[in-house]
Amino acid sequence: MENGKKGTSIVVTSGKGGVGKTTTSANIGTGLAMQGYSVVVLDADIGLRNLDVVMGLENRIVYDIVDVVEKNCKLKQALIKDKRHENLYLLPAAQTKDKTAVSSSQMIELVNELKKNYDYIIIDSPAGIEQGFQYSIAGADEAIIVTTPEVSAVRDADRVIGILEANEIYQPKLIVNRIRQDMVRRGDMMNIEDILDILAVKLLGVVPDDENVVISTNKGEPVVMDEKALSGKAYRNIVRRIIGEEVEFLNLEETNQGKFSKMMKLLFGR
């Protein structure tokens, strides 16, 4: 392929588990591919792989990241082309190994190799701050922090931002996932300002709590492709911000829209 590209590697991380790292990785990767970029999404969660399932590519796996670093196969052989997007590839994690199977230096080498051929490398990091996290961030140029509006998730995000800075990855960008505007309005949920106050990082986007995400995850089709879903729109906006466009935040408008469509649903059954 076009050798000599200078791609960007972005790690998606959170500290806390279950906040939506994998979903975010799948959606950002797919979204970037929809914009015409060549993308590799790399599942770094060895032993607990999920990204293949979320992207609906599980049954195509033959080789995985451990095979690549152990040189059992060529890098190209392990890359799985997405079902829907020509320019989107998945590098799956191994399931029968554990985090000790890959080292930081191997990861750096791997990501640098990928950067020569692809525009974006999205690295889906495992939860925690142990070895798996360490090698996930080793090859990353930039970081996206995913959090949910809960004190525990924000606390872990804060810790991770500190570790990233210590590893010379500065100015990570924040995605606040699964926000419920109705609860925020009642004062029952942390709002965006509260979270930004604590974390003091740049906001990349806000993704509403949306059942479409669950539906699409179970179907193996990232919600970013769903034209109707609000969460899909949120992810499309995030992608546009990543590639450098200025996109306004949906925020309050979002609530009205959400409310409106809910009413529509009630009235007309959608």
Binding site for other proteins (CB under 8 A): 47-49, 58-62, 95-96
Give whichever of 56 and 149 is closer to other proteins, judged by the CB atom: 56
| Centroid of chain to Cα 53 | 14
Computed on alpha carbons and rounded to an integer, the radius of gyration of the chain in Å comes to: 18
Please choose, from the candidates 252, 250, 204, 203, the residue with its C-alpha nearest in 3D space to the C-alpha of residue 230: 250
Axis-axis angle for helices 192-199, 151-166 (nearest 10): 30
> Do 26 and 52 form a contact (C-beta atoms < 8 A)?
no
Distance in Å, CB of 128 to other proteins, minimum: 17
Give whichever of 75 and 80 is closer to other proteins, judged by the CB atom: 80
- What are the structure tokens assigned to 6, written together? 């200078």
Cα distance between residue 129 and residue 118, in whole Å: 27
> Do 114 and 8 form a contact (C-beta atoms < 8 A)?
no
Give whichever of 48 and 225 is closer to other proteins, judged by the CB atom: 48
Distance in Å, CB of 118 to other proteins, minimum: 25
Distance in Å, CB of 51 to other proteins, minimum: 13
Give whichever of 192 and 225 is closer to other proteins, judged by the CB atom: 225
Please choose, from the candidates 213, 216, 214, 203, the residue with its C-alpha nearest in 3D space to the C-alpha of residue 250: 203
Cα distance between residue 194 and residue 182, in whole Å: 16
Distance in Å, CB of 121 to other proteins, minimum: 24
Give whichever of 37 and 63 is closer to other proteins, judged by the CB atom: 63
Distance in Å, CB of 82 to other proteins, minimum: 14
> Do 114 and 77 form a contact (C-beta atoms < 8 A)?
no
Distance in Å, CB of 122 to other proteins, minimum: 22
Give whichever of 151 and 215 is closer to other proteins, judged by the CB atom: 215
